[in-house]
Amino acid sequence: MPSNRAVLVVALLAAIAGAGASLLFEPTIAYRLAGTTVGQQVLDATLKARAPAPPAGVSIAEKGGIVPAMTLPDLDGKPVAIPAVWAGRITLVNLWATWCAPCLKEMPDLQAFAAAQGDAGVQVVGIALDDAAAVAAFLRRHGITYPVLVDAAGPADAGVRLGNPTGVLPYSVLVSADGRLLKTRIGPFADMGEIADWVR
């Protein structure tokens, strides 16, 4: 007859295997877990542990610290200095690409949230890790009007500098009015209500 300890070990292993299988076969559970604070902390720690070291000299944003200064072009090719351009307003920065299905799914909610905020609330800014022409065409086709900057995906792109070393998209950060990184989010928002809750 097996000991109580052996039974507990087998039960624990079965529970872990069951949880892993449910995440694999039922991705909505993974999305729900990713939507929690604890889930985000686990995701963040896991991804950072697996991430390659950033190139020498690349500054990475840390929660509570000032976002590293960088310059990115807007869709007209005009250089935009961040975070200086966002000074005075809380900013939700969303990194995305036209080939990223979860990114595209959340964009109407980001657009609705941006419109609801008006000129005095939280501003929404996109950073597309993509081709500028493809991005401009997508935004026109889907009525996205919040500002979008462009960067090339790579080991020192804007996402990496904003604390996303593995390049998972979508990826969002909340930047304070004085340029500090307040929080990060890996993965898509479920809806506009979740965006509003996250920004609070």
Domain count along the chain: 1
Whether 28 maps to a domain, the answer reads no
Whether 12 maps to a domain, the answer reads no
**pLDDT tens, 57-112?**
999 999 999 999 999 999 999 999 999 999 999 999 999 999 999 999 999 999 99
* 3-state SS class at 115: helix
Reference 198, options 127, 113, 128, 129; nearest CA is 113
Whether 101 maps to a domain, the answer reads yes
Cα–Cα dist 98/128, whole Å: 8
Check which CATH number belongs to the domain holding 64 and give it. Answer: 3.40.30.10
Angle, vertex CA 151, rays to CA 127 and CA 98, nearest 5: 60
pLDDT grade for 35, boundaries at 50, 70 and 90? low
What letter would DSSP give residue 9?
A: H
Report the number of secondary-structure helices (H) and strands (E) in the chain: 7, 7
Reference 128, options 154, 101, 164, 152; nearest CA is 152
- 146 within 8 A of 86, measured Cβ to Cβ: no
- 163 within 8 A of 65, measured Cβ to Cβ: no
**pLDDT tens, 123-172?**
999 999 999 999 999 999 999 999 999 999 999 999 999 999 888 999 99
pTM attached to this predicted model = 0.80
What's the confidence (pLDDT) of residue 8? Answer: 55
CB contact set of 116 (below 8 Å; sequence gap of 6+): 192
Whether the predicted pLDDT of 18 surpasses 90:
no
Query: Which range marks the domain in which residue 63 is found?
Result: 35-199
Residue carrying the six token digits 């090719």: 77
Whether the predicted pLDDT of 11 surpasses 60:
no
- 167 within 8 A of 157, measured Cβ to Cβ: yes
Cα–Cα dist 125/102, whole Å: 17
Whether 103 maps to a domain, the answer reads yes
pLDDT grade for 10, boundaries at 50, 70 and 90? low
